[in-house]
Amino acid sequence: MTQKTQYRISILSQDDLNTIERLKNKNEDGTEKMSFSLGDGVYWMPDSVRQLYHNEIQHINSEGSTKLKAIMNNDVDTFVNSNRDKLRRDLDNMYRAVNGNGTMNSEDVESILLELKSRLKKALEGNILPEVSYSSILFRDDNDSDKGSWGQGATLLRSIALFARDSLVIRHTLLVVYR
């Protein structure tokens, strides 16, 4: 038997977390609209769309950075220190849930707070979205090659065919709805 227990604490309010999540979802929507899924987080995107996609990512990252700076009043240390008591209570509650009683060691709490400050500073300096990398897809047609290289090609062709079909179905449905 295996048991897994996860705990998550956040210095950000639920509303702030929801705002950041909405920005991440904006990126997912853009990815779905500008590319075709090949599975496992891999997408095919036409070269002509890359700059538009890159601009959208920059816009979302800029918006996210602005929101994070506003949440923290552009001062991570003050923000974390002003939430120290709440974080301490959350950490102690997690500690008691695992150990039954007691409180978390002060040195461990300080270590967590230092790591939190470091992460938040990186978030303010960096991007809220993960880095995107591009690579080419090559399909070989020699008899000796591994047939597995055609899996992405087949998935891409299927996605393109479904896109055309779905576009027609959605258009037809919209026409019916508006008649």
Q: Is the pLDDT of residue 82 over 80?
A: yes
Q: What is the mean pLDDT of residues 43-58?
A: 88
Domain edges within the chain:
1-135, 137-179
How does the average pLDDT of the chain come out, rounded? 82
Q: Is the pLDDT of residue 25 over 50?
A: yes
CA distance 118 to 121: 5
The pTM assigned to this predicted structure is 0.66
